[in-house]
A and B are shown apart, each in its own frame.
Chain A
């Protein structure tokens, strides 16, 4: 509410905000602390909220026992390439959807929305067969191609929102000054859009970095595994090695969280303007 805040109102507000912050951050704190305990100290009573001794054993085990470095590298390559290509392709389609009226436009937007309703598992079998035919199973390029397609619909809608936030007058002025439509797009519009483009890329990157089911299906050899696939492998039906799991979780969460903190403001803008205009 805009207006004067009473003292009681302020107290309530900051109490609730504080509680929510604790609730949000505590699970992340807890997984981090767990990962920094020596494997033997994780299962002791009473539960230690601040370990007496810190140990990096869980982390060294990850890179010794399992090839976690390879999984991280795979995830990094796949998410970076797929995220960048999807952003570039979505930029073109978003531009057209923001700046032109044409007959199939609402059908295309509908088609983009429907992709969000399709459960991954209905497409997995045929997708696996398709990739087998293309000789792209267990191949990073194959996963990259699939991820590009996964990212495009949402990314297009998001970028369309950015384009719509930029007044047409900007391009018109550039075109009156003698630039072609392409010139106006690449020389005038895209520089203005840079924050939005960065945000869209980060969003795609995070989505690819976190994707599980497609990568489990398409990547089966140890050298091609991505991080989520590896995490899934740490779960046997009865037992989880919580030491390794917590260390792996921290290494998985950290990069995306840093990226997200860096871009959250742009993402907020993009989501609101893009998603609401549908």
Chain B
């Protein structure tokens, strides 16, 4: 088993595919490994004949998944990646020669690039922070049974079953400047005097897409944190109560430290996911007004629609590279998690 650092240091997309291939082809070469024995398998059975059968079984069971992902996900991605270094424009396919880093230079030289980056940061962090805070509060409150808790959970989890694109459309209708219910409610409450054109003004449009994303994403945090809270031993709370710790202190000294790995992991997973999630903005503003609500991935869609596949692929590689950095954190966090589990298991 390679260590995490080995895996990440070479984790370009190519090595990932190679591993997919070797896994489906050559994992029958498994011999005795160092490290801990496998969990509950082949205990006390170390015949070589069994080892090769075991390798065959692993290979056979992994093969369908590996083949599907290699053919329909990794192959197109790698083929698409090499477009990033070519002059690949649908408007003129006569010359698809190698142009090195030109597409990347074009991306960075684009006057809109600064806005796109700023928007991406607002989109990711502006969504993550409220999602985490609200999700955490809901999880804490949903721990204790109350009447209709099951129904409440089912209702509050609904947004999750809807596609991001459709949520964008839903909120486009809510924030409609003339017949939008948001303006109507705010006027009734006396908070605004006249209708606001939410999606026509860059500042309010960015705010509106983030609101929609918060509406969508709180559920995920609630679920993850709720499950993590189940694992905190009751005795800890009893001990804290005996020591006379108040609610706030218990929260910060017991609950949060105990589930911090899950918290970190959930945040990282969501950062990856939200970063790579153009659907909602695509449905809500299409990147408008005047390209002012584009994030990196919607910008990529726009460039693709203009036919400049080379530049779009360069953008795609920038996304993958950025997110791989997050994956390193992810792996480190999961390793810590495993150690934690060992410590707390009786």
Interface residues of A (CB under 8 A from B): 1-3, 5, 9, 13, 16-17, 20-21, 23-25, 27-28, 30-31, 34, 42-43, 46-47, 89-90, 92-93, 95-96, 99-108, 110-119, 121-127, 129-130, 145-146, 148-150, 152-153, 156, 168-169, 171-172, 181, 206, 209-213, 228, 231-232, 235, 240, 242, 245-246, 249, 252-253, 256-257, 259-261, 264, 267-269, 271-273, 275-278
Is B124's CB within 8 Å of the partner chain A?
no
Known: A27-B174, A111-B17, A121-B312. 17 other contacts (CB 8 A): A9-B247, A107-B7, A107-B23, A110-B11, A119-B316, A145-B72, A149-B71, A212-B282, A213-B279, A240-B169, A242-B173, A249-B170, A253-B166, A264-B157, A269-B227, A275-B224, A275-B269
Q: Cβ of A42 and Cβ of B327 under 8 Å apart?
A: no
Closest Cβ–Cβ distance, residue A52 to chain B (whole Å): 17
Q: Which residues of B contact A211 (CB under 8 A)?
A: 163
Q: How far is the CA of A5 from the CA of B312 in the complex (A)?
A: 55
**Which A residue sits closest to B158, measured CB to CB?**
A257
Q: Which residues of A contact B153 (CB under 8 A)?
A: 264
Known contacts A121-B304, A275-B224; is-contact A89 B64 (Cβ 8 Å): yes
User: How many A-B contacts if CB must be within 8 Å?
Assistant: 327
Q: How far is the CA of A133 from the CA of B175 in the complex (A)?
A: 44
Q: Which residues of B contact A156 (CB under 8 A)?
A: 65
8 A Cβ contacts from B274-313 to A: 276, 278-279, 282-283, 297, 300-301, 304, 309, 312-313
Known contacts A92-B61, A264-B157; is-contact A17 B319 (Cβ 8 Å): no
Q: How far is the CA of A112 from the CA of B237 in the complex (A)?
A: 38
Q: Which residues of A contact B58 (CB under 8 A)?
A: 96, 100, 102
Q: Which of B23, B155, B158, B269 lies in contact with A104, CB distance below 8 A? A: B23
Q: Which of A114, A148, A228 lies in contact with B324, CB distance below 8 A? A: A114
Closest Cβ–Cβ distance, residue B258 to chain A (whole Å): 13
Q: Cβ of A181 and Cβ of B57 under 8 Å apart?
A: yes
Q: Cβ of B40 and Cβ of A122 under 8 Å apart?
A: no
Known contacts A17-B152, A261-B154; is-contact A23 B215 (Cβ 8 Å): yes
Q: How far is the CA of A12 from the CA of B66 in the complex (A)?
A: 50
Q: Cβ of A272 and Cβ of B61 under 8 Å apart?
A: no
Interface residues of B (CB under 8 A from A): 1-2, 4, 7-8, 11, 13, 15-17, 19-20, 22-23, 27, 30, 33, 35-41, 54-55, 57-58, 61-62, 64-66, 68-69, 71-77, 79-81, 83, 134, 137-138, 140-141, 143-144, 152-166, 169-174, 178-179, 181, 184, 215, 218, 223-224, 226-228, 234, 237, 241, 247, 250-251, 255, 261-262, 265, 269, 272-273, 276, 278-279, 282-283, 297, 300-301, 304, 309, 312-313, 315-317, 319-320, 323-324, 327, 330-331, 334, 337-338
Q: Which of A1, A27, A96, A114 lies in contact with B62, CB distance below 8 A? A: A96
**Which B residue sits closest to A123, measured CB to CB?**
B76
Q: Cβ of A152 and Cβ of B65 under 8 Å apart?
A: yes
Q: How far is the CA of A16 from the CA of B142 in the complex (A)?
A: 12
Q: Cβ of B27 and Cβ of A130 under 8 Å apart?
A: no
Q: Cβ of A108 and Cβ of B80 under 8 Å apart?
A: no
Q: How far is the CA of A153 from the CA of B16 in the complex (A)?
A: 13
Q: Cβ of B227 and Cβ of A268 under 8 Å apart?
A: yes
Q: Which of B16, B61, B152, B278 lies in contact with A110, CB distance below 8 A? A: B16
Contact sample, A vs B, 28 pairs, CB 8 Å cutoff: A1-B143, A2-B237, A16-B141, A17-B152, A30-B173, A31-B173, A95-B61, A108-B66, A110-B16, A114-B324, A116-B276, A118-B276, A118-B316, A119-B278, A119-B319, A121-B297, A121-B316, A122-B312, A125-B80, A125-B83, A145-B72, A168-B41, A210-B162, A228-B166, A240-B169, A267-B223, A268-B223, A271-B224
Q: Cβ of B40 and Cβ of A103 under 8 Å apart?
A: no
Q: How far is the CA of A183 from the CA of B30 in the complex (A)?
A: 23
In the A-B complex, the 9 residue pairs with the smallest Cβ-Cβ separation, listed nearest first, are: A168-B40, A122-B316, A210-B163, A272-B227, A149-B72, A126-B79, A278-B334, A123-B76, A117-B323
Q: How far is the CA of A119 from the CA of B134 in the complex (A)?
A: 28
Q: Cβ of A108 and Cβ of B19 under 8 Å apart?
A: yes
Q: Cβ of B64 and Cβ of A92 under 8 Å apart?
A: yes
Q: How far is the CA of A119 from the CA of B172 in the complex (A)?
A: 24
Between A110, A112, A209, the greatest number of chain B beta carbons within 10 A of the residue's beta carbon is seen for A110
Closest Cβ–Cβ distance, residue B86 to chain A (whole Å): 12
Q: Cβ of B13 and Cβ of A114 under 8 Å apart?
A: yes
Q: How far is the CA of A212 from the CA of B164 in the complex (A)?
A: 9
Known contacts A96-B61, A107-B19; is-contact A119 B297 (Cβ 8 Å): yes
Q: Cβ of B223 and Cβ of A271 under 8 Å apart?
A: yes
Q: Which residues of B contact A171 (CB under 8 A)?
A: 40
Closest Cβ–Cβ distance, residue A44 to chain B (whole Å): 8
Q: Which residues of A contact B282 (CB under 8 A)?
A: 212
Q: Which residues of B contact A232 (CB under 8 A)?
A: 165
Q: Cβ of A17 and Cβ of B138 under 8 Å apart?
A: yes
Q: How far is the CA of A126 from the CA of B129 in the complex (A)?
A: 37
Q: Cβ of B27 and Cβ of A117 under 8 Å apart?
A: no
Q: Cβ of B38 and Cβ of A115 under 8 Å apart?
A: no
**Which B residue sits closest to A46, measured CB to CB?**
B184
Q: Which residues of A contact B250 (CB under 8 A)?
A: 1, 3
Q: Which residues of B contact A30 (CB under 8 A)?
A: 173-174, 181
